């Protein structure tokens, strides 16, 4: 199993300028055909509208990535779309149970507002969701596939760790997710360090049109390298798992919470530099603002 290989401590001083939230346009209730609409809520939370489905990734609307409301990493930018403004949610993709990806008040609110939503989670996370009111849950091991009706989702490997306290470290699995409709394929990478499975994921579950890629929370490298990609590694992993002439890379896991030592605005700058150094087309790297929506058309053009 790909797992965490380091222990240590990081600082939480805020340096740099957070991204500026834009005024979100309420997404259409559904997107049909070969289009895929991507709306960044913040951190690793996206609303994906594809194949007639509305899908959330790692939903976090909370003010802190913390077990308590009065301490811990505080949100720098409000969520890009209000929880109450969401269209009907069909599917939630959960990558693991860390506080910046699994938010107790958010899970409870979604369970109330969207009781029919189908939550997909790695092994061991289902009980935590059920305890917070989620009714429909499918737990998956790596390479398990779930039929969503017109789309399939597959749980794929990641190199990370899990746990919400010192007593349950690595008691549950962590993962990424792929999503496939007849026209569009999406790779939600999840939370991960560099590992040797990315090429295989692309070969088995691609070719991808959209890759949601973590680019932040990487310093100091002696500590974070096993569990979080830095921007240069993120671009390398994108090239391993997708065709840069076909797919777009959407940056995530930056600009919302201060979790590590790098300046909050450094990840996108380094990602752009690494992207251009590889000679990839600028329009295929999406550095979005919280609240921004972009549409990938059936012909794989972006706007």
Residue 23 lies in a domain: no
Task: Point out which residues pair with 213 in neighbouring strands.
Answer: 251
In a domain, 190, yes or no: yes
The H helix count followed by the E strand count for the chain is: 6, 14
- The model's pLDDT over 224-241, given as tens digits with 9 standing for 90+, comes to 999 999 999 999 999 999
Does residue 136 belong to any structural domain of this protein?
A: yes
Q: Are 211 and 247 in contact (CB under 8 A)?
A: yes
Q: Residue 13: pLDDT band by 50, 70, 90 thresholds?
A: low
Q: Is the pLDDT of residue 164 over 50?
A: yes
CATH number of the CATH domain containing 115: 3.60.15.10
Rounded (5°) CA angle 197-198-203: 100
pLDDT (tens digit per residue) in 88-97: 999 999 999 8
Q: Residue 285, class by beta-carbon neighbours within 10 Å (0-12 exposed, 13-18 middle, 19+ buried)? A: buried
Residue 98 domain flag: yes
Which structural domain range is residue 165 located in? Answer: 36-292
In a domain, 299, yes or no: no
> Which carries the bigger pLDDT value, residue 162 or residue 122?
122
Residue 157 lies in a domain: yes
Using an 8 Å Cβ cutoff, are 135 and 111 in contact?
yes
Q: Range with the lowest mean pLDDT among 35-44, 53-62, 119-128, 164-173? A: 164-173
CA torsion 190-4-222-58 (nearest 10°) is: 20
The structural domain count of the chain equals: 1
Asked if 295 and 36 count as a contact pair (C-beta separation under 8 A), the reply is: yes
Length of the chain, in residues: 303
Say what the alpha-carbon torsion angle 102, 288, 120, 92 is, to the nearest 10 degrees. 80
Burial class (CB in 10 A: 0-12, 13-18, 19+), 258: buried
Residues 242, 20: Cα–Cα separation, whole Å: 29
Q: Is residue 155 part of a domain?
A: yes
* Residue 178 covered by a domain: yes
Average pLDDT across the chain, whole number: 91
For residue 149, what is the DSSP state? S
CB 60 within 8 Å of CB 67:
no
CA 61 to chain centre: 14
Query: pTM for the complete prediction?
Result: 0.93
């Amino acid at each position: 199993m790909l797992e965490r290989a380091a222990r240590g401590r990081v600082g939480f001083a805020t340096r740099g300028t957070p991204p500026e939230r834009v005024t979100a346009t309420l997404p259409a209730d559904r997107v049909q055909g070969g289009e895929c609409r991507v709306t960044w809520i913040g951190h690793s939370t996206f609303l994906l509208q594809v194949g007639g489905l509305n899908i959330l990734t790692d939903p976090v609307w909370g003010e802190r990535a913390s077990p308590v409301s009065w301490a811990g990493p505080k949100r720098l930018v409000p969520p890009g779309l209000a929880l109450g403004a969401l269209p009907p949610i069909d599917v939630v993709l959960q990558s693991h149970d860390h506080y910046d990806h699994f938010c107790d008040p958010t899970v409870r609110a979604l369970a109330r507002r969207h009781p029919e939503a189908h939550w997909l989670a790695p092994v061991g996370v289902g009980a935590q969701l059920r305890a917070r009111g989620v009714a429909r849950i499918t737990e998956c091991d790596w390479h398990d596939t779930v039929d969503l009706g017109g789309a399939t989702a597959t749980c794929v490997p990641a190199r990370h760790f899990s746990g919400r306290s010192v007593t349950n470290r690595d008691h549950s699995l962590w993962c990424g997710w792929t999503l496939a409709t007849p026209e569009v394929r999406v790779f939600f990478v999840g939370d991960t360090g560099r590992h040797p499975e990315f090429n295989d994921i692309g070969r088995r579950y691609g070719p991808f049109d959209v890759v949601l890629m973590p680019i932040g929370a990487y310093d100091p490298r002696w500590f974070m390298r096993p569990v979080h990609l830095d921007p240069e590694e993120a671009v390398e992993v994108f090239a391993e798992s997708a065709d840069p002439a076909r797919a777009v890379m959407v940056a995530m896991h930056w600009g919302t919470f201060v979790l590590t030592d790098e300046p909050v605005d450094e990840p996108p700058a380094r990602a752009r530099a690494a992207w251009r150094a590889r000679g990839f087309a600028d329009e295929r790297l999406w550095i979005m603002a919280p609240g921004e929506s972009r549409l990938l058309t059936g012909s794989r053009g972006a706007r």
